[in-house]
Amino acid sequence: MLASVQTGITRLRDHYLFQNLRKGLRLYFSDRITVMMAIGFMFILLLGVFGPMIAPYDPGTRHADEDGQLIRMSPPTADHPLGTTEGGKDVLSRLLYGTRPTIITGLMGGFTIVGLGLLIGVSAGYFGGTTDSILMRITDFAYGIPIIPTAILVIALLGMGFWSTIFIIGALLWRGNARVFRSQVLQIKEREHVRAARISGASSVYIIARHILPNIAGMIVLFFALGTGLTIIISASLAFLGFLNPFTPSWGIMIRNAYGSGVPLDAWWWTLPPGLAISFTVLIIIMLGRGYERVHNTDVNQIG
């Protein structure tokens, strides 16, 4: 039993996918900036997973001092390293608890954006003809739809909630990458190795899976990263504008509440941390995506 597991592992280790992965990862991390960004991202992920556990307080607890007075709008102290909110809640705890929903929303949004973009872009590019025309007209239409008014509409119909947010963002923002994917596919489709497979009679599914997608992988990862970053920013904007559930302590909501206090500039310990957190997270994610794209291009450009 053990022996067969061992041979299984060896065979896996020698499999070309694994080898490619190793080579790929090594190349990926050859750039110092990417390594720094990866470390940053690990940190954020850890915060997302363990945040609630390391937070000193529950995010909803209103803190009172010895006199029973709520500690409102307190600048950073030893007890509350990032101060308190207007309602006496600890900012640091809210920040840490807020990591998870922010990141999850971001990733889901990124997935949807890239997923839809791929579906539409690749179909249009590969199948051409009327399919292409129809899909591209749909894309053109999507470009015309403004986000905020649509958000209002969707929330009016579906109510506030996580899935509404994803729906709004995903259903509109795929439009940017669909076009790009389509033009890449148009180009790759004419390469001789794809034509050879097509002429031989390979199925479209096979060709798309084995010839087209691997050759746009870099772009897919990049757009995924961009999509995630964009989602985080837009959901923060939507939160700020009041379209999201105010009780989930995401970073966007924090900014909203800070703004709502009337004195956002004074209470910098409340306003700045979530803002900076959003900026840094988005930056890191995008840089990671760029890192992959750089690798993908180097690899492919090693043609003699």
Partner 1 sequence: MATELTERENEAAPVMEVRNVEKHFDPSSNVIEKLRARLSPDSRSKIRAVDGVDLTLEKEQVQGVIGESGCGKSTLLLTLIGEHLPSEGELLYKGNPVSEFSKADWKQFRREVQIIFQDPFNAINPHFTVRQTLKEPLRIHNIDQTEERIREVLEQVQLRPAEQYIDRHESELSGGEKQRVAIARALIVDPEVILADEPVSMLDVSTQASVLELLEDLTTEYGASMMYVSHDLSTVSYVCDRVNVMYLGRLVEKAPTKEIINNPKHPYTQALIRAIPIPDPHFEREWTQIKGAVGDAQDLPTGCRFKDRCPERMDICDERPLLRPVDGDGGHEAACHLYYDHEDVVAASATDGHAGVDAE
Q: Which residues bind partner 1 (CB under 8 A)?
A: 16, 20, 133, 191-202, 206, 210-211, 214-215, 299-300, 302-304
What's the helix, strand, coil split of the chain in %, to 5? Answer: 75, 0, 25
Shortest distance in whole angstroms from residue 199 CB to partner 1: 6
Long-range contacts of 168-171 (CB under 8 A, 24+ apart): 168/238, 169/109, 169/112, 169/113, 169/230, 169/231, 169/234, 169/235, 170/108, 170/109, 170/112, 170/113, 170/115, 170/116, 171/112, 171/116
Minimal distance in Å, beta carbon 136 to partner 1? 12
What tokens appear for 224 in the block?
Answer: 């995924």
Closest among 255, 289, 243 to 107, alpha carbons compared: 289
Task: For the CB of residue 212, give the shortest distance to partner 1 in the complex, in Å.
Answer: 10
Q: Which is closer to partner 1, CB of 62 or CB of 137?
A: 137
**φ and ψ of 72, to 5 deg:** -90, 145
In the complex, minimum distance from the CB of residue 207 to partner 1, in angstroms, rounded to a whole number: 10
> CB of residue 216 vs partner 1: minimum separation in angstroms?
11
CB nearer to partner 1: give 47 or 194. Answer: 194
Measure the CA–CA gap between 291 and 296, rounded to whole angstroms: 9
Among candidates 235, 232, 237, 247, which has minimal Cα distance to 94? 247
